[in-house]
Every structure is written in structure tokens, then in C-alpha cells.
Structure 1
Amino acid sequence: MKSDGTLHHEVVTSHSVFGAPCWVSLTTRDLRAAEAFYHAVLGWEWASDTKMGDQYRIARVDRVPVAGVSEVDFAAKTAVAWTPYFAVSSADETVSRSQERGGTTAVGPISLPPGRAALLADRDGAVFGIWEGELVAGWEAWRRAAPAFIRLHTRDAFDAAMFYGEVLGWASKASGCCEVHYEENEVVLRSEGDIVARIHSGAVEAAPDPTIRPHWQIHFAVSDVEACARAARAHGGTAHQQGVGSTEAVLIDPDGAHFTVTSKADV
């Protein structure tokens, strides 16, 4: 621990864990309301980030940074949503590969010391971010305290896996890259053996579903799903559960951002 009371972590960059999810960030129209909601539901503590300005906060669990929240201008019509960020060795090269394969670029790459970021969408419209540079928290520390995993809901899991594999360098021969598997009707991404992302579009025999709006869903691991659902409802959000005792619930914060809480016992 440092003299100022913060935890020391080894500097880890996106070059060493490229292709894997490395951060999640929320855009909201009311920063204070978001802080209160996520503190009540997930127990997060908050800290300012002077590098990112007054409208950005870092959520912490046991002093480990786990997520970012930024306030956006209501008039700008920016989507209120949770977005996953993937580690890349070069933001410029990743953006180029995405565009070559039918993806679109919403923002960037832009410099955000200590790194560079871009906000992209795959060819089916699912939004994701990329990050090049020093990770906000040490890789192992973030993995222990961060979301259980992220899941892409899309129309064609195999087409999506091809896109992300080519753009983010999955299943390449490079040391430390992510492995891609097919398990229980989902494409599964593993980093150092751990499941860090899933891509889902239904049974392998099923045709692509045109009614699905492709999107990434963040799954946070929690000790008590029921308690999180009750807290969400009590603080202006909503909760959708499959039944009493369910090990998973989809929550919606007061501003409309969706996320999932999953029982740690199932992770």
C-alpha cells in the first residue's frame, strides 16, 4: 500500500492482455444519481479522476478501480448505456481493421492519458470500446473485483466471433492472446483460462434472429441477487428476475442503463 492509503499495483498495459475485456464504463445524464444507485445496489465507493475531468468518476471495490461513469449532455442524445472496453496493442490499427470489416467508429482514437481510446460498433451495431495503454487497475486485481463476464447478444454468433477475432486478435499465435471456444450453444472467450466474454445468438441450428438488437451486456458478480434486485427497486430502478431464488437478474438503473447481476456461486 502506498503512503496515501491507496493500493499499489503493478503497471500492466494493454499490450500484455490484448484482446481481453479490460474495463467497463457507464454513460449517464445524472452523475450523482448514478453514484447513489450503484452504491446502494453494488456497494461501490466513488473517487474522482482528475485526468478525465469533473464529469467522470471511478467506482471502487476494496479500493480497486472496477468501472468508470461519465456524465453526458442530455441535449447531445448520447446513449445511456454500459460499454465494455477491450485491450489492444494499437488503437489506430484496431480502428482500421474494424472499418475494413464493416464496423463503424463513433469516437476516436483519442488521447486519454495514460492511454488512447476509441468507441466503435461492430457490423451489426453492437457498441464496444478499445483501450491502448496502461490499465486503470492491475490486470489480476481488476479481474477479481470486476464484472464476472460480458455477453454479446447478437443475430449470428459465428459471424460476430469472426469480426471480433479479426479486429481484436483473438485466437492468434501471439503470446497472451485470448482463446475462443464453443460451449453450450455460445462462443466463449477465455483469457488465461478464465471466461471473460460470451457471444450468444441461440441454438447452432437456428437461423439468425432479425428481431434481436445486438448489444453487449455487463454481468456483475454479487453475493445476493435478491438483495441487489430489492435495492434497485428501492432506489428508482427496476429488476427483472425469472423467479424467487433466481441466480441472475437484469437490472435497469434510473436513467435506463441495463446490466445483469449474477450470483458469485455460479461464476
Structure 2
Amino acid sequence: MNHATHPSGATDVVPSTHSVFGAPCWVSLTSRDTGATEAFYSAVLGWRWRSARLGDHFRVALVNGTPVAGIAAVASVWQMVVAWTPYFAVPSADDAVARVRERGGTAAVGPLSFPPGRAALLADRDGAIFGIWEGELLAGWEAWRRAAPTFVRLHTRDAFDAAIFYGEILEWASDRPGSCQVHYEGDEVVLRSRGDVVARIVSGALEAAPDPTIRPHWQVHFAVEDVAACVKAAQNNGGSVLRYDSGSLPYEAVLRDPDGAQFTVTSRLPR
């Protein structure tokens, strides 16, 4: 898959997306130099790595043995920019892609078969890139949630319009068991799955902004124990700090890896 391995990059898969859908289930990244990318994220986030069954150009990140993310060499996957991309669980990739096209979005690639599932890379009406996954995961959804991002946030032109688009694509707030709940809290749209906040949508992005970080995009937020340590490690390993908020909890920093991919680290709060 683009932006790294798809969610079934190894053999120890268990059913996951059958009981939860519409929620983020994986994050992935493309890289021009997977060795350098591994070293950077090992230093900043403490990740360990193993190969994926798609081949030597694909790698899976582990947190305490749980698969949490993937990377792949740009030359070996779909030719896309270097960026983090979230994938959302869906019951049917074909149905989700059809709904994207019907509502003015773009199906960039897929659906393609990656046994034991199927995937597609899509763009919403404002150009924000996201993926969908139908099938099984490396680890159960609950295990991934405990070890993986705190949430993903969509920076978009109009949060209300985007919530309608994604809600129709991913069947949010439906009567089907496993559906996500959508709420409006202040100026954000908040998505919850089984009570946990898994995504947020905020307005204010500009479609034609010269700076790609201001255009509509999904931002991946990783939960960490020590934001300051991540900031220092990023600076010491070829990355850069775009923003660092350390005034009050939760502490947060927006970082950029040496390849240009942007992500956020957020202090892990007691559950």
C-alpha cells in the first residue's frame, strides 16, 4: 500500500475490522530511505522494526511487540508524496470507493487485494488523502488502539461539510453494530469508537495554500510519555520542530522527519 505496508503486513493476523468500522485502523508512511526512517522513528518514538511479507521494501513498526504502523520505499509502492496517511476500517472496500466517487472524491488507487484484505487510497473533495481497509489486521483493533496513535485530525476547509462526506463514506452514526459516533464539541467534529476519541475534524485549511501543511490533510497524533524528549530526539536525528506547546497538559509538538513527513506527538494522559 502507499505510505507503507497495508494492515496485513505479517502472518499473525486476527479478525478486527469485522466488529469495528469507520474508525482509523492503521497508519502508514512512504520513505525515500527506509533505513534512515527506521532510525529516526526508533530514536523519537522508541519503535522496533520487522519485515513485512510484502517484501524487503516494506517494514512494520512495533510497540512492545504490537504492530502499530508501516513504512515502504517510495520506489516500490504507489508514487505518492512522503506523508503519514491514516486508513479506516470498512466492511466493503468496493462500496466505500463507490461512495467516494459519487460524492465528488477521488479514488487514486484500488481497491487492490492484499490477502487477507483489500485496500484503496482515496482523496476527499478538498484533496485530503486517506485510505480504507477491508479485512484483517496484524493485531486486534483494541490492541492497536492501546499502542498506536491517540487519534488522527483532519485539517480541512469546512469541518461540517467534511463530516458529512466522511460520515456517508464510512457509515458514521449508523444503526449498524460497531459504527462510530459523531459529536460537535466547540469548533471541532469529534469521532468516537467504543467511547474513545479516534478522530477530530477542524476547519480553517486553505485548498490553494502554497504551504502544503496548511492545505487540507490528515495529521497523525502519536501518544508519548515525554514530549520534550521526542522534540530533542527529533532535532538530534535530522528532524525539525514546527510547533511545540508545553504550557499546559496535554503537551504537544508538531514534528517533521528528515524526509519531510509531518506528525504530532501528544503527551499520554492517564486513562
Cα distance in structure 2, aligned partners of 1:107 and 1:119: 5
SS at match of 2:17: coil
Cα distance in structure 2, aligned partners of 1:94 and 1:74: 26
Cα distance in structure 2, aligned partners of 1:227 and 1:25: 23
Cα distance in structure 2, aligned partners of 1:99 and 1:58: 31
Cα pair 2:17 2:141 within 8 Å, conserved? no
Cα distance in structure 1, aligned partners of 2:76 and 2:12: 36
User: Which amino acid counterpart does residue 263 of structure 1 have in structure 2?
Assistant: S
1:32 matched residue in structure 2? 35
Give 1:185 shift.
Answer: 1.2
Cα pair 2:13 2:137 within 8 Å, conserved? no
2:199 matched residue in structure 1? 197
Q: Which of 21, 26, 34 is matched with 1:23 structurally? A: 26
Cα deviation 1:68-99 (Å, max 9, x = unaligned): 11111299852000000000000011000000
1:250 matched residue in structure 2? 254
- Rate the CA distance shift 1:95–1:244 in 2: closer, same or farther, 3 A: closer
Cα distance in structure 1, aligned partners of 2:112 and 2:71: 18
1:237 matched residue in structure 2? 239
What are structure 1's unaligned runs of at least 5 residues? 1-7, 203-207
Q: Which of 251, 263, 269 is matched with 1:265 structurally? A: 269
Cα distance in structure 1, aligned partners of 2:120 and 2:13: 24
Larger radius of gyration: 1
Cα pair 2:206 2:215 within 8 Å, conserved? no
Identity of aligned residues (%): 67
Q: Which of 133, 146, 157 is matched with 2:135 structurally? A: 133
> 1:99-118, aligned counterparts within 5 Å?
99-118=101-120
TM-score by length of 2: 0.89
- Rate the CA distance shift 1:193–1:9 in 2: closer, same or farther, 3 A: farther
SS at match of 2:241: strand
> 1:98-247, aligned counterparts within 5 Å?
98-201=100-203, 211=209, 212-242=214-244, 244=246, 247=251
What are structure 2's unaligned runs of at least 5 residues? 1-10
Cα distance in structure 1, aligned partners of 2:58 and 2:188: 34
SS at match of 1:73: helix
User: Which amino acid counterpart does residue 132 of structure 2 have in structure 1?
Assistant: I
Cα distance in structure 2, aligned partners of 1:76 and 1:173: 35
TM-score by length of 1: 0.90
User: Which amino acid counterpart does residue 104 of structure 1 have in structure 2?
Assistant: T
Cα pair 2:62 2:68 within 8 Å, conserved? yes
Cα pair 2:153 2:201 within 8 Å, conserved? yes
2:48 matched residue in structure 1? 45
**RMSD of equivalent CA atoms:** 2.1
SS at match of 1:213: coil
Cα pair 1:201 1:209 within 8 Å, conserved? no
> 1:57-96, aligned counterparts within 5 Å?
57-73=59-75, 78-96=80-98
SS at match of 1:93: helix
Cα pair 2:244 2:254 within 8 Å, conserved? no
2:5 matched residue in structure 1? none
Matched positions, count: 254
Further displaced range: 146-155 or 233-242: 233-242
Cα pair 1:47 1:58 within 8 Å, conserved? yes
